[in-house]
Amino acid sequence: MNLHRATLALRSPLGTPLAGDTLFGQLCHALREAAGEAELVRLLDGYTVGRPWLVVSDGFPQGYLPRPTVPPLAQTKPEERKAAKGRRWIPLAAAAKPLPELLAAAVNDETAYGEGNEPIHASAHHNTLNRLSGTTGNGEFAPYAMSQTHYAAGQKIDLWCVIDETRCDADRLQALLANIGATGYGRDASIGLGKFDVESIDAAVPPAPSQGIPLRITFAAAHWTLAPCAPQGQGFDDEKSHWRVLTRFGRHGGALALSAHPFKNPVLLAAAGAVFVPRGEFAPRLFVGQGLTGVSKAEPATVHQGYAPTLPLQLDATP
Q: Is residue 80 part of a domain?
A: yes
Q: Is residue 89 part of a domain?
A: yes
b/e map of 145-167 (b: 16 or more CB within 10 Å)?
eeebbbbeeebbbbbbbbbbeeb
Range ranked top by mean pLDDT from 144-148, 186-190, 301-305: 301-305
Task: Please determine, for residue 150, whether its predicted confidence score (pLDDT) is greater than 50.
Answer: yes
Question: Residue 166 is part of which domain span?
Answer: 2-110+154-314
Q: Is residue 274 part of a domain?
A: yes
Overall domain count for the chain? 1
Q: Is residue 73 part of a domain?
A: yes
Is 138 in a helix, a strand, or coil?
A: coil
Task: Please determine, for residue 318, whether its predicted confidence score (pLDDT) is greater than 70.
Answer: no
Q: Is residue 305 part of a domain?
A: yes
The pLDDT assigned to 156 comes to: 97
CA distance 112 to 28: 30
Whole-model pTM: value is 0.88
17-21, 29-33, 208-212: the lowest-pLDDT one: 208-212
CA distance 25 to 304: 7
Q: Is residue 123 part of a domain?
A: no
Q: Is residue 275 part of a domain?
A: yes
What residue ranges in the chain does DSSP mark as E strands? 2-10, 54-56, 60-61, 64-66, 89-91, 120-126, 144-150, 156-163, 196-203, 221-225, 245-248, 267-270, 275-276, 287-292, 304-314
Q: Is residue 120 part of a domain?
A: no
Task: Please determine, for residue 194, whether its predicted confidence score (pLDDT) is greater than 50.
Answer: yes
Rounded to an integer, the average pLDDT of 256-274 is: 85
